[in-house]
Structure formats: C-alpha cells, structure tokens
Structure 1
Amino acid sequence: MRVSQVRLFLLIGLVGALVLVAVILSPMLLMSPPSFISDGGFATDCEDTTQVEEVSDTGTADIPADYLDLYKEYGEEVGVQWNILAAVGKRETDHGRSNLPGVKSGTNYAGAAGPMQFLISTWGGKARIPMSSTFNGYASDGDGDGVGDVYNPADAILGAAKMLRRNGAPEDVRRALFVYNRAWWYVDQVEEIARKYAKSGAVEVPPQASEECDDPLIAAAPSEVVAKILQYALAQRGKPYLWGGTGPDSFDCSGVIYSAYRAAGLQIPRTTFTQWPFGIRILDGDEQPGDLVFFNAGPGTSATSPGHVGLVVSKGKMLEARCRLCGPIKVTSYETRANRVGFTRPLQNPGVIEQLKSLQNSSL
C-alpha cells in the first residue's frame, strides 16, 4: 500500500470519528434547557453584553486625556457609546481646541456655543444656568459646581450624552446624531471618526431582545398570564410609533401595553395618565415582567402624573413605543433612563384580580 493510500484511509477514519461524535452530542445539545439568570430575566446569550470599547492608538494620540476621561465617564453613566461622544467633540471643536467663535465664549453664526456646540436655546436659554432653577434644555452640571456651563467640558459632554440618549442612542446612533445636527453627511463623518477612535474599528450597538430571545423571556414569566402579555408585546417590536395607536399596525406607549393586556384577556386603562394610578405601586428593585415602568416625559406631565410608560420584560429591560422620531417599538434599558418615576403592577388591581378569577373559572 502506498503512503498516499495510507493517508487517505487515515483521513477517512478521522472524518468518520468526528461525525460519530457529532451524532452523539447533537441530541444532548438539542435537549439542553435555556439558561435563565436568577432574577427572572432571560438567557445569558440574550443579555446586553456590549463591552466598553478600548481606545485605539489614534484615539489616545488625538483626544486630550481630560476629555477622554469625560467621554468615557459620561458615556457609561448615561448609556451611550463613548467614542460617539468623542467623535462629536472632535467634529464640532476638535475637543475644545478650536479658536473659532463660540467655542470658548460667545456663540457662532448659528447661535451654538461650547466644546460640544449646543444651541443656546437647546442648552436652556442662556450659557450658564444655576441648576437649582427651572429650565427646558440639556444644561447639565458635570463638575458639581451647581451651574450648567455650556463652555465647561464636563457640563457640555454630560449634556451631549443626555441629548444623544434622548434621541435614540445607543441603539439608534444614526438617528441620535441626525437630531444633534440635521445632516446625514454629518452623521457619516461622526461615525467614521468614532470607528477610528475604537480599537475594534466599530461603533458597538447593544443587542436588543430579538426573536431568538423571546422564548426564554416568555418562559421566565412569573405566570401564564404574564407570558401571554409578553408574547403579544414582543411580537409588536419593529412596528412604528403612532400617537393614539392601539394596533394592529402601530402603537403609542400606553397603546401597546393596553393591547398586550387585552390579548391576555384583561382590561386595563388605555392612556398613560390613567394607567399610572391603576396599578399597585412596586418598589424599585422589586419589579418583574408584566409590571409597568413610568417616566416624567412629554407635554403636560409631572412626577405625579407621568406621561410615558414601558412594559417590563426582564430585569432592567422594557418594551416601549417611545416617540415618532425615536425609531420603532423595541426593547430598551430603563435602568439608566432619566426621569423615571416608578413601577406599578396592574395585575394586583382589585378589578384585574376579579378578571383573573373569571378567566380561571371559564377555563375549568
């Protein structure tokens, strides 16, 4: 027998052994149950595992050390990509090094000021705002001196992070950047800079709970009723926001929750304002899938009359229909969201308890 024939027989034997191992292991893999996390959330593979990007050599060389620390600190605190923040700072003022009008004092021709080039009207009406005052805008106090100073890098970068988060980041970075400066060429330029600043050469976007994660989410629900609520709500992911919408093609924030409960055979109030007092209040940290999480957001709202609501689908995650410019219905994080008012549990409302009893009796 020639050497080539011996090698051929050995190769065939090796392939056969691998196939046999695969045949033995496949049923074991298929039978393995999903691994649920202990707090009733979903499988580890479906968690938000986005890592904090390492800085590339280009980023280290180009970004001043104090600015880099601020981009990282407030990116993590607010929940947006630090390299997107840094890229905005680079594109706007070269991290505050530009000597053009409006960077260190005054405003430019468009009325923008500071290292992140906020329109004064967007900041809050004036360049320096006592944080104890009432104002509408993104003025922020990053250095803790009690003043939101548009020229102060710490204040401006924190304000920019909040603005990007409010308008879609970290999931929909391009939309958030477009709102920041309404030009798609600007969005492209900022993303290109951000890629150069990250060691991976990418803009990391946290994974949403996708269809692959739905089964573990639903299986981890605390009851069959909650499982039905989640099943309906998650199926609406990707549909557009429409004020007053209750489906089937589009929804607003309270509409998708109202419809999800209705799909489980339960009647709850239709609007956010009426859903807030309806459920039993739940302490922060005790929330579970099926509960509602409320925010002081939107016109005519307050801490005692919140105007936005999401459906808790797992610890730290909610399904929400946020706004027309915020992208489609999706699963997002509520833990770092500003203006969170609290949680309620509609299933503990006395009227819903009676509805649950009726459903149970009708199924007997």
Structure 2
Amino acid sequence: MTSRLRIALIVGLAGVVLVTLIMAPMLMSTFPSFLGGGSVTDCADDSPKFANVSDTAQSDIPPEYLALYKKWGQKTGVQWTVLAAVGKRETDHGRSNLPGVKNGTNYAGAAGPMQFLISTWGGKSKIKVSSKFNGYASDGDNDGYGDVYNPADAILGAAKMLKRNGAPGDLRRALFTYNRAIWYVEQVLEIARKYASDGTLDLPPEADPACDPPIVEAAPTDVVRKILQYALAQRGKPYRWGGTGPEGYDCSGIIYMAYREAGLSIPRTTFGQWPFGKKISEGDEQAGDLVFFNAGPGTSSNNPGHVGMVVSPGKMVEARCTLCGPIKVTTYRDRPNIVGYTRPLQNPKVLEQLRSLGVT
C-alpha cells in the first residue's frame, strides 16, 4: 500500500468517526416531536412474550439487569431481548472496566452501562429529571434524578431511545440510530436472538394476535367487531402515505378500509372523516370511534391532520408516520394535541347503509 493511499484511508476513517460523533446528538435532538409520546400498549403484565428467556440469557445476564431489561421493555413496548443485547454489546451488562462504563466517558464521550453520549443524556451525567424534555435522561428508580451510570435509569433511557427511533417494528433503524454502524446492528440482533428461548425477535404484545380476542369480544356490536378485526390484522405493516392496503396504509386509509370491510362507506381522508362522524365527548368514546389530532403541516384545531381508531378505552390502532414504525396499537390519552372524537356509525348516511345491510 502506498503512503498516499494510507493517508487517504486514515483521513477517510477519521472523517467517518467525526461525522458519527457530530451527527448522533444532532439526530437525537432534531427528530420530529411526533415520534415521542403515545406509549405502546400491552395485553397483560404477565404476557408470555416476556417469559421468553433462553438458557444463554439466564447464565449471561446479571439478575438485576435481566429484571430491568424485562421491566422497561414491557413498559415501553420494546423487545427486552434487544435492550439486553445492547447492554451486552456496549458494556457486557455493566461488567466492563473500560473507560466511561462506571465513571467518566470513553473517547467518544459516551458513559454508563448503555453508553449514552452525554450530549444526548441531557448534557451532564446526572441531572434532575423534570417534566421538560431532558434528552434521554430517565429516572428509572424514582429518585428524581437521571444518572447515566445507574442501570435502572440508563436502561429506561435506552428503551426510550430505541422506541423513539423505530422499535419494536423497525429494529434495524432503531439500532442504527443508537450506534451508526451496520456491523453493530447485526451483532446486536444476533445477541438478541440468542437471548430469546425461541430464537426469534417477535414483536411484543402490542402486535401479538393473542391480544385480539379480549378487544374484539368487548366490541359493542358485530359491525364494530368486523371493523376491529380488519384494522388489528394490519399491525406490523408499514405506514404508506395515501395507502389503502394491502401492503401499507396511512392514518385514514386503514380506517377507511376497515369500515369498507364491514360494508360501510366513509370519507377517505382525515380531513373528510373529521366532520363526517357525530362528535363524542372525551371519556364517552368506544371501540370503532375515531380520535383526531392537530398534527402535521397545514392542520389546526379545526382541521386535524392525524386520526386513529379506538379499539378499547385509552387504546387505538394507528398508522402514524413513515418514521414511527409499523401500524400498531398505542395509547392516546397521554398524547398532546387531541382535537376530539367522532362516531362515524352515527352519521345519517352510515345509518342508512346499516339499515340496507339489515342491521338496526
């Protein structure tokens, strides 16, 4: 290799490292706000998905870390195996003695068992967590502080970061944002599969058909059951602007097609669906109703730009955005900018359609 080529390679590699260190905190701080909030739901706290622990995981992960991975994986809707794999790859679950794991930072400015850049943690290794956005600083042990060296805080922060950037559906994107290297993504996914007793990276309960029967059976009518069955069956498919399936949907497209599956015609777009249904007071919404948000360019409190379908109290199925991961069931009452709720089934045109179908 010539000296000129060596110099070029060294300069090129240095540039990659520099761009990574600069861009990582910028990407964390500039992702759209709509990627946050709206936690993913679960079926039950004892879901069998979180009992999926292999012998490898049992022997390799310290019990206190395993409990935290499972706890925060379930709470945020991120596969615990992926959280654990990040912890393994970064610091061997906090056992590494490399710089930055237990104190200080490494050469890149990362710290703690999950190796957060201090700039994305909130600017300091330990900060008081407030209601304001604090980077990814998190209080996992309820002491009021986000401590990057505290496993309870760091693992919760990592779960939030992965969730914000694509998990549980788009793991490759989420992991690439965590550490911008393809080899890193592949290594983490390989470890995660070894930690799962069935060797898979299945979505957590928010996309698990085992969640469906209680939701569908609780629907108020057969028509609503049919609507819910169609909508829930689309989980895991990607958001696609203007999409009405079967490969992908946008927010109003999945609702339009779910109603059509039940033999009913409603407007295609969010802007058309908002004035179409009967307005429902907050707290009175039920399965099949729609919840609207002031979100997206050109929208307002009188012209909402995003919609989800209520599947049970506090939960909705939605196709949110390209960067938000696949279609899933999420919570909505903790989301900002809710404009209101409507019941399309009470529109006079829909009532007439129901009568023609023999439904009274």
* TM-score by shorter chain over 0.5: yes
- In the alignment, what sits opposite 1:333? 329
Shift of 1:90: 0.9
Contact map agreement 1:83 1:198 (CA 8 A) in 2: yes
Q: Give the Cα–Cα distance (whole angstroms) in 2 for the partners of residues 272 and 111 of structure 1.
A: 49
- Structure 2 match to 1:353: 347
Q: Which residue of 2 aligns with 1:38?
A: none
Matches within 5 A, 1:210-229: 222-223=220-221, 226=224
> What is the alpha-carbon distance in structure 2 between the residues aligned to residue 74 and residue 162 of structure 1?
9
Report what 2:31 is aligned to. Answer: none
- CA 82–209 in structure 1, closer or farther in 2 if over 3 Å, else same: closer
Of the structure 1 ranges 143-152 and 117-126, higher mean CA displacement relative to structure 2 is found in 117-126
**Bigger CA drift: 62-71 or 127-136?**
127-136
Equivalent pair of 2:138/2:154 in contact (CA under 8 Å): yes
State TM-score, norm by structure 1: 0.64
Structure 2 equivalent of residue 205 of structure 1? 203
Name the counterpart of 2:182.
184
Of 71, 90, 111, the match for 2:109: 111
Q: Which amino acid aligns with 2:179?
A: N
Query: Do the aligned partners of 2:266 and 2:344 also contact (CA within 8 Å) in 1?
Result: no
Shift of 1:133: 5.3
Partner of 2:280: 280
Following the alignment from structure 1 to structure 2, what is the Cα–Cα distance between the partners of residues 51 and 267?
A: 38
- Does the C-alpha gap of structure 1 residues 220 and 268 become closer, same or farther in structure 2, counting only changes over 3 Å? farther
Residue identity opposite 2:178 in structure 1: Y
Take 1:146 and 1:213, find their aligned partners in 2: how far apart are those partners?
34
Do 1:310 and 1:319's aligned partners in 2 also have CA atoms closer than 8 Å? yes
Q: 1:310 aligns to what?
A: 308
Deviation at 1:73, TM superposition (A): 2.0
For 1:125 and 1:273, the matched residues in 2 are separated by: 44
Which position in structure 1 is the counterpart of 2:143?
145
Report what 1:16 is aligned to: none
Change (3 A) 1:107 1:162: same
Instruction: Please report how far the alpha carbon of residue 203 of structure 1 lies from its aligned counterpart in structure 2 after TM superposition.
Output: 3.5
Asked if 2 retains the 8 angstrom alpha-carbon contact of 1:55 and 1:197, the reply is yes
Matched-pair contact (CA < 8 Å) for 2:270–2:304: no
**SS of 2:94's equivalent?**
coil
Q: Which of these residues, 41, 62, 65, is aligned with residue 64 of structure 1?
A: 62
**Cα RMSD over matched residues?**
4.7
1:16-27 aligned within 5 A: none
In the alignment, structure 2 segments of 5+ residues that lack a partner are 1-42
1:221 deviates by 5.1
Cα gap change, 1:267 to 1:196, in 2 (>3 Å): closer
- Describe the shift of the 1:83–1:358 C-alpha distance in structure 2 as closer, same or farther (beyond 3 A): closer
Aligned to 1:27: none
Instruction: Note the 1:245-324 alignment, pairs <5 A.
Output: 245=242, 247=244, 251-254=249-252, 256-257=254-255, 264-267=264-267, 270=270, 279-283=279-283, 287-293=285-291, 309-313=307-311, 318-324=316-322
SS of alignment partner, residue 334 of structure 1: strand
After superposition, residues 156-175 of structure 1 pair within 5 angstroms as 156-175=154-173
Label 1:53 to 1:293 Cα distance change in 2 as closer, same or farther (>3 A). Answer: farther
Q: CA deviation at 1:89?
A: 0.6
List runs of 5+ in structure 1 lacking aligned partners.
1-43
Contact persistence 1:170–1:206 (CA under 8 A)? yes
Question: Which secondary structure does the structure 2 equivalent of 1:346 belong to?
Answer: strand
1:223-245 alpha-carbon deviations (Å, 9 max, x no partner): 476467557756866664345x3
Specify the alignment match of 2:26 in structure 1.
Answer: none
Contact between 1:258 and 1:270, CA under 8 Å: does it hold in 2?
Answer: no
Per mean C-alpha deviation after superposition, the further-off stretch among 261-270 and 137-146 is 261-270
Cα distance change on mapping 1:299 and 1:131 into 2, 3 Å: farther
Separation of aligned partners in 2, 1:213 and 1:94: 34
Matching of residue 73 in structure 1 with residue 71 in structure 2: yes
Tell me how far apart the structure 2 counterparts of residues 191 and 148 of structure 1 sit (CA, whole Å).
Answer: 27
Q: Normalized against structure 2, the TM-score is what?
A: 0.64
* CA positional deviation for 1:107: 3.1
Q: Which residue of structure 2 lines up, in the alignment, with residue 155 of structure 1?
A: 153
Q: Deviations over 1:308-361 (max 9, x none)?
A: 542234677643212213444x3x2325x8944579541179xx5344455467
Is contact 2:274-2:342 (8 Å) kept?
Answer: no
Aligned to 1:36: none
- How far, CA to CA, are the matches of 2:52 and 2:226 in structure 1? 41
**AA partner of residue 266 (structure 2):** L
CA distance in 1, matches of 2:271, 2:88: 43
Residues 261 and 267 in structure 1, CA contact (< 8 A), matched pair in contact too: no
The answer on whether the counterparts of 2:278 and 2:344 sit within 8 Å (CA) in structure 1 is no
Q: In 2, Cα distance between the equivalents of 1:146 and 1:301?
A: 37
Q: CA 1:213/1:120 → structure 2, altered by over 3 Å: closer, same or farther?
A: closer
Q: Which amino acid aligns with 2:114?
A: M
Q: Equivalents in 1 of 2:273, 2:357: separation in Å?
A: 33
AA partner of residue 319 (structure 1): V
Residue-by-residue CA offset, 1:52-89 (whole Å, 9 max, x unaligned): 23544433333223222222222222232322211111
**Percent identity between the two aligned chains:** 62
TM-aligned CA deviation for residue 307 of structure 1: 7.5
Counterpart amino acid of residue 342 in structure 2: P
